[in-house]
Amino acid sequence: MAYSVTTQTPASRIASIAGLILIIALVALPFFAGRGPIQDMFFILTMLVLAQFWNLLAGYGGLVSIGQQAFVGMGAYALFGVVILLGLDPVPSILLAGVAALIIAVPTAFFAFRLNGAYFAIGTWVIAEVVRLLVAQWKTLGGGTGTSLPRSATKDMWFVEIIEETLGVRSAAARDILAYWLALVLALATIGGIYWLLRTRRGLALAAVRDNMEAAKSVGVDAARMKWMVFLTSAFGTGIAGGLIYMQKARISPDAAFSVTDWTAYVIFIVVIGGIGTIEGPIVGVLVFFALQSLLADFGSWYLMTLGVLAIAIMLIAPRGLWGLFSERTGIQLFPIRRTLRGGKLSETKE
Amino acid sequence: MSILSLTSVSKSFGALKVTDDASFDVPQGQALGIIGPNGAGKSTLFNLITGNIRADQGSIHFEGRDVTRVSAMERCLTGIGRSFQIPQPFEKLTVYENLLVAATHGRNMSEAAVRDDCADVLERTELIKRANTPAGQLSLLERKRLELARAMATQPKLLLLDEIAGGLTEGECQALIGTIKDIHAQGVTIIWIEHVLHALNSVVERLLVLDFGKVIGIGEPDKIMASREVREIYLGIDV
C-alpha cells in the first residue's frame, strides 16, 4: 500500500462545519443585532487580528516584539494622511495603511534583527517610540494633539449608502456595520492566511527554526528569509488593522495610535492567556479578554492589576495557555497542522 | 576525483587555534574516519566543512567549487549533509515532519514530491514505526537514527557523521553500522568522527588523526592505528 499524508482529524472536520455556520451567523449579525454588539464585535475582531499577527511573530517566528504599536499607529496615520491630504476614500485607503506599515517595517527589521531575545523586544519598543515622536511632529495631521477624519470623507464612504438603504439605519450606524464587516473579512483572511502558511513547507521551516536554528540551517532552511517574511507579513497585517481601527474611531492622536498598552500589552495578554503558538489560542484569549474588560470596566486600575495577576498565574500554571491546557487534555485541535503519514509499513500493524 | 578538498584551513577562537593549517582531500565515494582526543578540534573541523563556522584562513572546495564563504544553508543545497554530535531534532515536529523540513528545503521540492522518498529513508533507518511521534519523545538510539535520517532526506553527496555511535549499546551500534554501510554502498561519500573505533573501522577506508587542530596522520586504518604517533597521542600509550 502506498504512503499518504493527511492533516485532518475528526475534530477538525466537525470544526470546519461549525466554523462555516459561525461565519454565516457573523456575516448576518448586523441584520438582527443593535449598534452596541456590532461595536463590541468590531473590537473583538480587530484585537483578534492583532493577536494573530503577534502570535505569528512570537509564537511561530520566535520574534518577541513589543513594538507592534509602531505598525498600528503608522497604518492609522497613513490612512488619515491619504484621506485628509489626498482626498482618497477611507475604505481603499486601509490597504495603503498596510503598505505604510510595511515601509517602516523594512528599516525596523534591518536594525532590530541585529538584536536577539530581550534586546530585540526592547529594540522594537524604542523604534516604535521614535516613530511616535516623529509622527507627532506632523503638523498638518494635528501634531501632538491629533485630528479627526473630515465629515465629508466619512459621510460618502464606499458602501455606506447601500448599507443605509438596505438595512434602514442611520449613517453613523451604517459606518459601524461597514467597519464590522471589513473587520470580519480581515479576521477571516488573517486566520485563513496564517493557517495556509503553516501548512506549506514555509510553515514547516518556521517550526524548524523555532525548535533549532542551527539544525534548520544545516538542512537547507533559509532562516534569515523566514524571519524577514514573518516580520513583514505581520507588520502589513497589523498596519491594515491599525488603519481599520482608526477609520472606525474617526479620531486620532499619536499617544492613542502608538499606545504600547492598547496595541501590544493587551495583545500579548490575549495570546499568552489563550495559548501561544496555536491559531486557536488568540481566539480563546480575545474572548476571555473581552469578558474581563466588560466585567471589570468600572474598577479602573484594579482592572489592569487583575489582568496582570491573571497573566502571571496562567504563565505559571499553564504556560501553553487555556487552549494549550484544553488541547493537551482532549487532544482536540481545530486547526491541525501535523502531517500524519499513513499507509505503507504503517498500516501493517496497529500502532 | 576528490569531492572535498581542504587547503591550509585554520580557525581560532580567541588565542586558541582549534584548526591549524588543515589540508586533505576526500575522493568521491570514499568513507573517511576522523579520530583524535577530546578537544582535538574534530567537531570544529565539521562545522568548517558544513559552514556552521567560517574559516579564518585557507579554502574549502566541494565538487571543485570554492565554498569557503558559502553559508551552511547553501552548502546543504549543494549536497553536504550532516548529523550533530548531540542530536538536534526539531522536537515539536514529528519524525516524519523532521524529514519533510530537510527534504523540502534541502532539495527545494514540494511536500508531495518528497513524501515517498522520506518514507523510504524512514524505512531504511528503521524509524518508520515512529513516523508520527514527536521527535522530543524519542529514545537516544532513535534520536541518533533521526539525525542520520534527516541528513539523508536532503540526499547529500557528502554525509558528515559526528559521533553517531557514541552512547549506544553494542547491539544498537551494530544495527546502526549496518544502516551506514548501506548508505555508503549507494555511493554516498562519508566523513565520520567517532570514538567507538571498532564501529568506525568496520566502515571506513581511510583514517585521519587530528590533535591540537593539526592533521598528524592520514592513510589506511591499519597503518594509522599502528603508527607511533597515534598510539602515543590518541591512545595514551607510552612507546
Whether B46 contacts chain A with CB within 8 A:
no
Which of A282, A302, A280, A278 minimizes the C-alpha distance to A292? A302
**How many CB atoms are located within 10 Å of the residue A221 CB?**
28
| Per-residue confidence in pLDDT tens, chain B, 239 aa | 799 999 999 999 998 999 999 999 999 999 999 998 888 899 999 999 999 999 999 999 999 999 999 999 999 999 999 999 999 999 999 999 999 999 999 999 999 999 999 999 999 999 999 999 999 999 998 999 999 999 999 999 999 999 999 888 898 899 889 999 999 999 999 999 998 888 998 999 999 999 888 998 899 988 888 888 777 776 665 54
Strands B2-13 and B57-62: what pairing? antiparallel
**What pLDDT shows up at residue B234?**
62
User: CA-CA distance, B179 to A331, in Å (whole number)?
Assistant: 35
Which of B188, B238, B210, B227 minimizes the C-alpha distance to B40? B210
ipTM: 0.87
Q: Which sign does the torsion angle of CA A45, A177, A149, A91 carry?
A: positive
Which of A135, A122, A11, A116 minimizes the C-alpha distance to A71? A135
Contact A214 B92 (CB under 8 A): no
**What pLDDT shows up at residue A351?**
44
Residue B56 DSSP class:
S
Tell me the residue ranges of DSSP E strands in B28-152: 31-35, 57-62, 65-66, 80-82
Contact B131 A346 (CB under 8 A): yes
**What pLDDT shows up at residue A176?**
94
**What pLDDT shows up at residue A297?**
81
**What pLDDT shows up at residue A348?**
67
Which of B234, B237, B238, B182 minimizes the C-alpha distance to B34? B234
Contact A5 B111 (CB under 8 A): yes
Query: Closest residue of B to A350, CA-based?
Result: B129
A6: three-class secondary structure by DSSP:
strand
Let me know: does B217 contact B70? Beta carbons within 8 Å: no
User: CA-CA distance, A310 to A103, in Å (whole number)?
Assistant: 36
| Best to test chain A binding among B93, B109, B110 (most A CBs inside 10 Å) | B93
| Best to test chain B binding among A60, A219, A350 (most B CBs inside 10 Å) | A219
Q: Which residues of A touch B52 (CB under 8 A)?
A: 214, 217-218
Residue of B101, B115, B129 with shortest CB distance to A221: B101
User: CA-CA distance, A277 to A298, in Å (whole number)?
Assistant: 32
Burial of residue A139 (CB within 10 Å: 0-12, 13-18, 19+) is: exposed
User: CA-CA distance, A249 to A259, in Å (whole number)?
Assistant: 15
User: CA-CA distance, A239 to A231, in Å (whole number)?
Assistant: 12
Tell me the residue ranges of DSSP E strands in chain A: 3-6, 147-148, 251-252, 340-343
| Per-residue confidence in pLDDT tens, chain A, 351 aa | 689 998 888 888 888 999 999 999 999 999 999 999 999 999 999 999 999 999 999 999 889 999 999 999 999 999 999 999 999 999 999 999 999 999 999 999 999 999 988 999 999 999 999 999 999 999 999 998 999 998 888 888 889 889 989 988 888 899 999 999 999 999 999 999 999 999 999 999 999 998 998 899 999 999 999 999 999 999 999 999 999 999 999 999 999 999 999 999 999 999 999 999 999 999 999 999 999 999 988 888 888 888 889 999 998 999 899 999 999 899 888 998 899 999 888 876 544
Let me know: does A258 contact A73? Beta carbons within 8 Å: yes
Q: What is the pTM of this model?
A: 0.89
What residues have CB less than 8 Å from B124, skipping those under 6 apart? B149, B152, B179, B182, B183
**What pLDDT shows up at residue B237?**
57
Q: Which residues of A touch B94 (CB under 8 A)?
A: 338-340
Name the residue type at position A315: M
Whether A213 contacts chain B with CB within 8 A:
no
At B9, list the grid cell.
584551513
Integer distance in angstroms from the first to the last C-alpha of chain A? 16
Q: Kindly report, residue by residue over B226-237, the tens digit of the pLDDT.
A: 888 777 776 665
Q: Which residues of A touch B126 (CB under 8 A)?
A: none
Q: Which residues of A touch B108 (CB under 8 A)?
A: 220
